[in-house]
Amino acid sequence: MSTFWTDTVTRLTPYVPGEQRSGENIIKLNTNENPYPPTPAVMQAVSALSGDQLRRYPDPESVELRKALAAYHGLDVNQVFVGNGSDEILALAFLAYFTNNKALQFPDISYSFYPVYCDLYGIEARTIALEADYTLELDRFEANAGGIVFPNPNAPTAIDVTLSAIRALLERHTQQVMLVDEAYADFGAHSAIELIGEFPNLLVSHTFSKGRSLAGLRLGVAFGHPQLIEGLQRVKNSFNSYPVDAFAQVAGIASVQDEAYYRSTVDTIIQTRNQTVTELQQRGFEVLPSTANFVFARVPQTAGAQSATALFNTLSDAGVLVRHWQKPRLDQWLRISIGTPDDMRSLMHCLDA
């Protein structure tokens, strides 16, 4: 511990991302990246940037990108905010809406950045327990006692909640912001974006990292009432006026405009996911229902079967990277990203071995 750290830094337990191992013959199924490249239109747009454009600051408000996103979702541009990845948007949102001396509610098994941001900003966290089957019952959230944030579908469980359940919670929860983190909604969950016109306290976040294959570029989006978007703008402009660079702005526009490529990629991943679930179940794994680009699978509990920790290590030694947590209710499960069909065949070969 550094003697120069503040008390805030000393108390932090930072978020730990999945291993970023490089090298030949590595099957990387641990960070939920899209196994396919972005649309060729992205590369064309990025390559077309001139040196003159790069010597200047990018548009601080990313107006053209926000216009493209607004048109895509049938919204007004003042209902759209973009940032340097959805994690940055979450950080800005926590500061804008949840530092109000009221507890922030989120699932006890969920995206592990939520408690990190609570520690960073000094926000009281109140966790809501998932059910025994790992589903999230939204009626467990206490209405108007504090803000609410949850992923849909959830991570790492991959289970989604219905739009009708979200609407019912919003009808009860009217005085505090509710943030629905839809990082994985591209792969089957019903987006809550269509509700933002009815509920001024609803913010929905998206990312270009998963369905649109742009994890290396860092681009996130938030949708909400203009007053919520203005709050994000105020925080952003008090921190970094230029979070979205010129490459990300043109790449984002190109990606949004190629719907056919996006849909084809997502559909392929869904097909591979369904096949992966079948093959894991044939090998004795319990697999939770998934609407994400990953599955959450319980290692077989039969006599002689490896523990999840042992299997995780065995796969890692073979160059197949998955995710495992040594935590209660998670320690017998593996989170497995959906790769190409060849990637998943390599996984199955390792499991069989």
Cβ pair 268, 213 in contact under 8 A = no
58 preceded by a cis bond (ω within 30 of 0): no
Find all residues with CB under 8 Å of 6, minimum gap 6, and list them: none
Quote the pLDDT of residue 267: 98
Task: List the chain residues with pLDDT less than 70.
Answer: 1, 303-304
Q: What is the rounded radius of gyration, in angstroms, for the C-alpha atoms of the chain? A: 21
64 conformational bin, left if phi > 0, alpha if psi -120 to 50, beta if neither: alpha
Extended beta strands in the chain, E state? 27-28, 80-83, 104-107, 125-128, 148-151, 178-181, 202-207, 220-224, 286-287, 294-298, 320-321, 333-337
- Class of the 40-258 domain? alpha beta
For 333, the 3-state DSSP assignment is strand
The pair of three-digit structure tokens given for residue 178, joined into one six-digit string:
């509710």
Tell me the backbone φ, ψ of residue 233, rounded to 5 degrees: -60, -40
Tokens of residue 56, six digits: 């200047």
Quick check: helix, strand or coil at residue 127? Answer: strand
**How much helix, strand and coil, in percent to the nearest 5, is found in the chain?**
40, 15, 45
| Token reading at 94 | 């926590």
Q: What is the pLDDT of residue 1?
A: 57
Residue type, 310: A
- Output the pLDDT for position 66: 98
Strand partners of residue 60: none
The structure's pTM equals 0.95
Domain extents for the chain?
7-37+260-352, 40-258
Burial of 171 per CB tally in 10 Å (0-12, 13-18, 19+): exposed
pLDDT in tens, 236-262: 999 999 999 999 999 999 999 999 999
**Residue 274 carries which side chain, given as an amino acid letter?**
N
- Please determine, looking at this structure, whether the domain spanning 7-37+260-352 carries the CATH number 3.40.50.150: no
Do residues 162 and 190 make contact, with C-beta atoms less than 8 angstroms apart?
yes
- Sequence-distant (≥ 6) Cβ neighbours of residue 188 within 8 angstroms: 153, 160, 270, 290, 291, 292
Cα–Cα distance for residue pair 117/205, rounded to 1 Å: 16
